[in-house]
Amino acid sequence: MRDVAIIGIGMTKWGELWEKSLRDVFVESALLAVEESGVDKIDSMYIGSMSSGIFVGQEHIASLLADYMGVNPIPATRVESACASGGIALRQAFIEVASGMSDVVLAGGVEKMTDVDGYQATYALGTASDQEYEGYHGITFPGLYALIARAHMEKYGTTREQLAMVAVKNHHNGSLNPLAQFPFEVTVEAVLNSVMVADPLRILDCSPITDGAAAVVVCPAEMARTLGKPVIKITGSGHATDAIALSSRKDITWLEAVYQSGKKAFDMAGKSPKDIDIIEVHDCFTIAEICVLEALGFFEKGKGGQAVERGQTSMDGDIPVNPSGGLKSKGHPVGATGIAQIVEAVKQLRGEAEKRQVKDARIAMTQNMGGSGGSSVVHILERE
């Protein structure tokens, strides 16, 4: 298996992009990634997108986007695994280059979520839950994560204030990110007094509805070294699944797919949590960040909330978490989130993250999750 490196990244500002279509949003970021890579052609591409059929009425987007990008007749594949679609698109690109099937592959993600009303957006996102055992009974994702949060609070003593501190930290980081949808700071008091969505989660515990895209170009590491740029290698990749329905899990406070995908990535890279300098995790809700960090082994079960309160996950803490602002502040166009995490990791490892740069970052991790933990993909990146 060949070593694989990331040689180009592309992302534009996320938000409510009323004036742009799905194809426009994707192609802008994809062309930025190709231009930065310095290559004159790509061999294939993978596009993460969860629900373009519901959000904009367009399926068959791999062919559409390859055409609009001007790269036909290359093979192009849409990848769907709910909110983990982007991360798995990168994994497929990584596998294709590592295997020798292709030399230059683009991995991207896109979602256009604001062209429908709130009801339709909620329905689209809800399709990532178990429709017969969860959706049929009317529960939505804020409700599912509220169940996780309440169980975590009852079992481990996690407090409502600790959940709020996750949002405060991520909005602080996002205030330093010019591409973030909501680049402003919030306070614990503001989070605690924001509109209730599903007890105990309030609106400032929840990631937003977002339009956006991101893209990266990968190639063999040997080829990357000839381009005269910092070589950012993908040294670990792990993917796992779990039951979609919370009722089918032994413990709803534990994310088994996250644990298994993290273990695979750590084993492949020969690393452990203590080796990671920065991590981008899937904070679709504040409780999600806490549960993910526990499942990945950064903190003991039930101790994630305390770690946030002690400042261990802040930019100058033991393990800086979500320096981009995470899904909470940067935004969450579901199919693109996993790729945007990689974009941030590459910037950090290159030393190009400007005001949010983590000092001496050389090893980064990203964790991208589908639904309430039904799928998870983890990558470890290292700078040579």
- Together in a domain, 256 and 370: yes
The number of distinct structural domains making up the chain is 2
- Together in a domain, 307 and 294: yes
Q: How much is the pLDDT for 380? A: 99
Among 195, 225, 255, residue at a domain's last position: 225
Whether 204 is covered by a domain: the verdict is: yes
For residue 310, the number of C-alpha atoms closer than 13 Å in the C-beta half-sphere is: 10
Whether residue 346 has pLDDT greater than 90: yes
Residue 134 pLDDT grade (very low, low, confident, very high; cuts 50, 70, 90)? very high
Whether residue 227 has pLDDT greater than 90: no
Whether 122 is covered by a domain: the verdict is: no
Show the tokens assigned to 72.
Answer: 């036909």
In this predicted model, what pLDDT tens digit does every residue of 350-377 receive, in sequence order? 999 999 999 999 999 999 999 999 999 9
Residue 52 pLDDT grade (very low, low, confident, very high; cuts 50, 70, 90)? very high
In this predicted model, what pLDDT tens digit does every residue of 152-172 receive, in sequence order? 999 999 999 999 999 999 999
Q: Which among 83, 206, 284, 291 is annotated as catalytic?
A: 83
- Together in a domain, 282 and 148: yes
- Together in a domain, 171 and 314: yes
- Together in a domain, 246 and 372: yes
Concatenated DSSP letters of 111-147: EE-TTS-HHHHHHHHHTTS-TTTTGGGT--HHHHHHH
| Cα–Cα distance for residue pair 298/290, rounded to 1 Å | 10
Q: Is 137 a catalytic residue?
A: no
Whether residue 77 has pLDDT greater than 90: yes
CATH code: domain of residue 50: 3.40.47.10
SS3 assignment for 191-215: HHCCCEEECCEEHHHECCCCEEEEE
**Residue span of the structural domain in which 81 resides:** 4-117+210-225
Among 172, 201, 225, residue at a domain's last position: 225
- Together in a domain, 251 and 321: yes
Whether residue 228 has pLDDT greater than 90: no
Among 225, 257, 272, residue at a domain's last position: 225
Q: Is 206 a catalytic residue?
A: no
Q: What is the pTM of this model?
A: 0.98
- Together in a domain, 307 and 371: yes
- Together in a domain, 49 and 150: no
Show the tokens assigned to 111.
Answer: 């979602």
- Together in a domain, 269 and 362: yes
Q: Which among 152, 171, 332, 379 is annotated as catalytic?
A: 332
